[in-house]
Structure 1
Amino acid sequence: MTVFASIGQFAGVARPVVMGLLGLFVLLALWQFLIWVLETPVYLVPAPSDVALAVRNDFALLASSSVPTITEAFLGFLLGNCIAILVAASFVYAKLIEEMFYPVAIIIKTIPIVAIAPVLKIMLGNGIEPKVVVAALICFFPTLVNAVRGFRAVDPQLVELMHVLSASKTEVFMRVRLQSALPYIFSALKISVTMCVLGAIVGEWIGANHGIGYLLIQSMYEFDTPRLFASILTASFIAITGFAIVSVLEKIVIRWDAASVT
């Protein structure tokens, strides 16, 4: 009975993956069929087979271009989320700070990132710094909003119990508020880990000599559409890998039922 239960549980977990792959296969087959029927030139829209061939032929170029993009996205991810969590904690403990600077955060969020990137390039130069800052900015707001909500979603009775036990503010924060906020924070991290890749690529569009963003621009100017699509596929793979890593970390860190805490 235990063996059959394990098989059933595995089938339940594997079904979404199998169905997702099946849907992707159907979409690619339809794409390939339409290219063949409509006889679309490869420089306009390549077939999946052309993209796969470009990935194979330019694999070394795509891999080397991924390194700076991953570095910029990772550093921006760390910078943006760490600052967002610290600012969220200050908002929870200091209402005045929240009233003063929360509107500022909203205003910064409303500015298009493609408008901020050229300014950062002028200020910080053409190195890695503006790309990291762009990636950090694009990660900052989702984590800030979710962290504030998570820090305030704590059970008031737990806070009161900690006060009765003469716990300090630091102990209340680490043992109660942070534990309550972790599900919210990880939800934000899943969003920001994909968005930081976009931020790094946008930064590379403004000015770079390497990276996936640079490769995208170069492929577009050269009308190398298969390599352009291969670059897009590489960027998507980087973002999906980041999402998977954060999901695994979430399962490792959060070992309790998040619904029971919130």
Structure 2
Amino acid sequence: MSAATASAPSAIVFEALADDAWLLRLGDGIDDAVNARVHRLTARLRAQAPPWLRDLVPAYASLALFFDENAIDALAVKSWLTAQCAQPDDDASDTQATRRIVEIPVAYGGGYGPDLDSAAAELGLSAHDLIARHSGGDYTVAMIGFAPGFPYLSGLDPALALPRLATPRTDVAAGSVAIGGAQTGIYPRPGPGGWRLLGRTPLALFDVSRAEPSLLQPGDRVRFVAIDAAEFAERTRLPAQTPA
């Protein structure tokens, strides 16, 4: 692929998702540049805040828009979207410095991360090196999916990519920090899962009692901070908080 081809954004494709929803496809697969474009478009549409807009749900390469069909018809929404999408896409406005940064404390290894040692061996690293490289990354919440509050994080060092387990676990602890393919993520609640478990955070990723239930939002920057078992225990006794 030439540099010119790589830098030229693809046309946005509109698909009727439901009677009250449009799906905007900006690309295919996992691509950081496409995902950044999704978040810029999401921010632009959210800033307009028309009264009929009900929700915007960004994904890796697409954006779903839900509207009040009693207030506006689908073709009118499509016309509005077409005009919005025709505006210049200024990627200079998408500086990482303006995004919210959320630090996630993680206790790595042992009972917190039962796959740490085997994952390190598979990668040809020591457990210490794997922790250092994983916690040293600068990640972006590409999307929320799979389960309420589950963040798919882009920015994983390609050298740390690992295939999912051949047989998924039936029970993964809430807060488990894991690698699945070329992504890293955090399980917000107990349940089945096939990603490699490196550690666990004491933070609640999803809590319906909070004003904003999901701790992380698409577009947030995430940094993992290694902690020990004593700090993990201490943090579990603190009231849950949503970062500013």
Q: Please give the TM-score of this superposition, normalised by the length of structure 1.
A: 0.27
* Structure with the higher fraction of residues in strand conformation: 2
From the CA coordinates, give the structure whose radius of gyration is larger: 1
